[in-house]
């Protein structure tokens, strides 16, 4: 992880600043390092200007026998650092040089002596703020750190060059996503995270329940305050009876209003006490049961609920009213996959288009992926250069290739034939018509046979979800997967089954309960429309763009079996 990586000026993101004007931040009193060293002139045109700069010290070294120090400061706005020079007369240097120290400094930009690699450096006149670091304890040593090591310090890893570059690329892809769909007339719909329907019908959902927390609360409470004994309840009942008797006596003796009121109030207290004791006596440890099963009517939503595996079913309700829509949010899958392509929590971009068939869907997917690639070339070249230098030499070439050449489109049946004819490689999983293509097959198609993105369509209906449109052959469905080099499956989508009878039959065939899908079936009962959509795994797109090997390193806070830090 080249901690002192400084890209040449030509690779920097260009800003509109070519003269000597300085762009100050709107919401923090400083100048972004990007707006100094990221200028087309590398910041030379700003020599002589006074600026305030903040950031974290990447490397710091005292020089001239401790008379001054050089700090390489990075504020996360771009991959490049700003060289900062501090004189010992300005501030104690020992506090500034440890890696990880935060500094806010004011100074003058100067052109350094010729022969140095910097175009401009900051001579500090005032150290405004310091966030110190004890170098002995700092969890991120200055040595080359592996991405595996960094997964144990997810809270500090954004300080590294790699994770910050990935964060900027990820941010750019999110911005590009909204730009693409907004430009094409799609409406952004926020679909729920908590759901009661299983979109993929695969049963790999995380359950959302308060039954366990409720049970623990009762357990704690009963420990602190044990339930009433039978005798205590009997005594309380007797008291109610006594007090009731007293009220009756006073009434028949025509007692004064004050006396009667006082007695009635005692009766009320005795009744309240009894009902409290009776309620407490009903408290039981454990999960509520009914007829030998967990009683979900007592759960928070009065029924079983889950974290969504996909926003598709819900976004379809808007597509069937507003035509072109998309959702972009977190999705959750409780599959025990330990691969470098699977997360338990990942983000998905899911457009849904009314009056669109499978071909329209493929066209949209291809245009969207191309747009993302071109966007990174146009807006993130400095970070992409970093990836090329440190992770994947072909990352930029891949973006160029994908953004400019048409994707291959082949049917599942053709894909199987091609794979069956492969002789130079032995696959771990045998290929025959009807199998779900394994990652090794998908990657072989896109990386070896076609050497570019491939869209495989018309999959066997047996291996695909219930909502996909059944083709006329009755054996396949109008599904499509976009496969890309480095990653394999990037997108999964389909034309949706819009025929009521057919979709009901499909749900039954797959032995799924009809009841949770009744609302979904209404979309076919009333004003049904041909429609199509797909889901792009956002982290898989970041993997594809950056060339990073493991999906756990391209999401800010990875969740996978056995691991959910922070």
**Is residue 76 within 8 Å of 158, Cβ to Cβ?**
yes
- Does the protein bind ligand 4AD through residue 492 (CB under 6 A)? yes
Least Å from the CB of residue 392 to ligand 4AD: 19
Between residues 491 and 554, which has the closer beta carbon with respect to Mg ion?
491
Both structure tokens of 274: 């009894």
Least Å from the CB of residue 199 to ligand 4AD: 5
Of residues 343, 380, 399, 410, which one binds ligand 4AD by CB under 6 A? 343
CA torsion sign, 254 to 259 to 265 to 269?
Answer: negative
Between residues 71 and 344, which has the closer beta carbon with respect to Mg ion?
344
User: Of Mg ion, ligand 4AD, none, which one sits near residue 537, judging by CB under 5 to 8 A according to partner kind?
Assistant: ligand 4AD
Q: Give the angle subtended at the CA of 402 by the CAs of 399 and 405, to the nearest 5°.
A: 140
β-strands 102-110, 121-131: how paired?
Answer: antiparallel
| Cα distance between residue 357 and residue 391, in whole Å | 39
Tell me the C-alpha to C-alpha distance, in Å, between residue 126 and each of 33, 61, 93, 103. 18, 18, 13, 11
Task: Indicate the residue whose CB is closest to Mg ion.
Answer: 492
Of residues 99, 119, 161, 312, which one binds ligand 4AD by CB under 6 A? 312
Q: How many CA atoms lie within 13 A of 226 on its CB side?
A: 4
Of residues 540, 542, 543, 545, which one binds ligand 4AD by CB under 6 A? 540
Between residues 86 and 199, which has the closer beta carbon with respect to Mg ion?
199
Which segment (127-135, 209-217, 491-499, 520-528) binds Mg ion by CB under 5 A?
A: 491-499
- Does the protein bind Mg ion through residue 492 (CB under 5 A)? yes
- Does the protein bind ligand 4AD through residue 346 (CB under 6 A)? yes
- Does the protein bind Mg ion through residue 493 (CB under 5 A)? no
- The gap from C-alpha 538 to its chain's centroid, in whole angstroms, comes to 8
Least Å from the CB of residue 497 to Mg ion: 17
Least Å from the CB of residue 184 to Mg ion: 23
Between residues 329 and 537, which has the closer beta carbon with respect to ligand 4AD?
537
- Does the protein bind ligand 4AD through residue 310 (CB under 6 A)? yes
**Is residue 83 within 8 Å of 118, Cβ to Cβ?**
yes
- Does the protein bind ligand 4AD through residue 442 (CB under 6 A)? no
User: Of ligand 4AD, Mg ion, none, which one sits near residue 60, judging by CB under 5 to 8 A according to partner kind?
Assistant: none
Between residues 342 and 486, which has the closer beta carbon with respect to ligand 4AD?
342
**Interacting positions 139-168 with ligand 4AD (CB under 6 A):** none
* Binding letters toward ligand 4AD, positions 323-342, x by CB under 6 A: ----------x--------x
- Does the protein bind ligand 4AD through residue 105 (CB under 6 A)? no
Q: Is 472 exposed, middle or buried (0-12, 13-18, 19+ CB in 10 A)?
A: exposed
Buried b (16+ CB within 10 A) or exposed e, 329-363: bebbbeeeeeeebbbbbbbbbbbbbbebebeebbe
| Cα distance between residue 200 and residue 215, in whole Å | 31
| Cα distance between residue 505 and residue 467, in whole Å | 11
User: Of Mg ion, ligand 4AD, none, which one sits near residue 490, judging by CB under 5 to 8 A according to partner kind?
Assistant: ligand 4AD
Beta bridge partners of 460: 476
Both structure tokens of 474: 């009755």
| Cα distance between residue 151 and residue 371, in whole Å | 31
| Cα distance between residue 416 and residue 418, in whole Å | 5
**Is residue 105 within 8 Å of 126, Cβ to Cβ?**
yes
User: Of ligand 4AD, Mg ion, none, which one sits near residue 3, judging by CB under 5 to 8 A according to partner kind?
Assistant: none
Instruction: Outline where DSSP puts E strands in 400-540.
Output: 408-411, 454-460, 476-484, 488-495, 531-537
Q: Nearest to residue 429, comparing CAs of 417, 421, 439?
A: 439
Between residues 84 and 543, which has the closer beta carbon with respect to ligand 4AD?
543
Q: 318 phi and psi, to 5 degrees?
A: -80, -35
Of residues 181, 186, 386, 534, which one binds ligand 4AD by CB under 6 A? 534
Q: Give the angle subtended at the CA of 165 by the CAs of 160 and 170, to the nearest 5°.
A: 130
- The gap from C-alpha 368 to its chain's centroid, in whole angstroms, comes to 19
Least Å from the CB of residue 442 to ligand 4AD: 10
Size of residue set near ligand 4AD by CB under 6 A: 21
Which segment (67-75, 147-155, 272-280, 487-495) binds Mg ion by CB under 5 A?
A: 487-495
Of residues 491, 507, 542, 543, which one binds ligand 4AD by CB under 6 A? 491
Least Å from the CB of residue 493 to Mg ion: 9
Q: Interface residues with Mg ion (CB under 5 A)?
A: 492
Q: Interface residues with ligand 4AD (CB under 6 A)?
A: 199-200, 310, 312, 333, 342-343, 346, 348, 350, 489-493, 533-535, 537, 539-540
């Amino acid at each position: 992880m080249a901690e002192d990586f400084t890209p040449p000026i030509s690779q920097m993101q260009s800003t509109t600043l070519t003269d000597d004007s300085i762009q100050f931040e709107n919401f923090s009193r400083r100048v972004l390092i990007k707006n100094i060293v990221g200028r087309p002139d590398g910041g030379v045109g700003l020599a002589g200007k006074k600026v305030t700069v903040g950031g974290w010290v990447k490397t710091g070294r005292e020089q001239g026998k401790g008379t001054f120090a050089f700090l390489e400061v990075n504020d996360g706005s771009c991959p490049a650092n700003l060289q900062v020079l501090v004189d010992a007369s300005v501030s104690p240097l020992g506090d500034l040089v440890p890696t990880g120290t935060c500094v806010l400094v004011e100074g003058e930009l100067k052109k350094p002596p010729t022969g140095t690699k910097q175009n401009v450096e900051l001579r500090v006149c005032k150290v405004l703020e310091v966030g110190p670091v004890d170098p002995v304890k700092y969890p991120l040593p200055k040595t080359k750190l592996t991405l595996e090591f960094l997964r144990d310090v997810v809270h500090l890893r954004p300080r590294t060059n790699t994770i910050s570059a990935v964060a900027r690329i990820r941010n750019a892809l999110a911005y590009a996503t909204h730009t693409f769909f907004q430009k094409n007339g799609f409406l952004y719909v926020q679909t729920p995270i908590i759901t009661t329907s299983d979109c993929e019908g695969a049963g790999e959902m995380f359950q959302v329940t308060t039954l366990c927390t409720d049970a623990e609360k009762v357990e704690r409470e009963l420990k602190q305050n044990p339930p009433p004994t039978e005798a205590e309840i009997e005594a309380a009942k007797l008291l109610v009876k006594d007090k009731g008797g007293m009220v009756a006596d006073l009434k028949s003796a025509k007692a004064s209003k004050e006396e009667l009121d006082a007695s009635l109030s005692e009766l009320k207290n005795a009744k309240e006490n009894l009902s409290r004791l009776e309620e407490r006596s009903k408290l039981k440890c454990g999960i509520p049961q009914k007829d030998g099963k967990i009683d979900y009517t007592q759960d928070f939503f009065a029924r079983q609920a889950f974290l969504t595996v996909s926003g598709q079913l819900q976004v379809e309700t808007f597509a069937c009213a507003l035509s072109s829509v998309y959702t972009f949010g977190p999705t959750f899958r409780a599959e025990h996959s330990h691969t470098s392509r699977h997360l338990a929590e990942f983000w998905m971009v899911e457009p849904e288009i009314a009056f669109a068939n499978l071909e329209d869907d493929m066209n949209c997917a291809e245009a969207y992926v191309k747009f993302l690639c071109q966007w990174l070339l146009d807006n993130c070249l400095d970070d992409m250069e970093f990836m090329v230098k440190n992770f994947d030499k072909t990352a930029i070439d891949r973006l160029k290739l994908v953004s400019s050449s048409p994707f291959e489109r082949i049917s599942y049946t053709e894909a199987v034939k091609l794979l069956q004819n492969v002789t130079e490689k032995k696959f771990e999983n045998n290929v025959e018509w009807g199998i779900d293509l394994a990652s090794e097959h998908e990657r072989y198609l896109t990386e070896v046979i076609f050497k570019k993105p491939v869209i495989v369509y018309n999959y066997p209906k047996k291996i695909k979800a219930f909502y996909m449109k059944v083709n006329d052959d009755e054996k396949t469905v109008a599904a499509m997967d976009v496969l890309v080099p480095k990653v394999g499956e990037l997108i999964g989508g389909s034309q949706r089954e819009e025929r009521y009878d057919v979709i009901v039959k499909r749900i039954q065939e797959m032995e799924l309960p009809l009841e949770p899908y009744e609302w979904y079936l209404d979309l076919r009962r009333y004003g049904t429309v041909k429609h199509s959509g797909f889901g792009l795994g956002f982290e898989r797109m970041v993997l594809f763009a950056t060339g990073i090997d493991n999906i756990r390193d391209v999401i800010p806070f990875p969740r996978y079996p056995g691991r959910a830090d922070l």
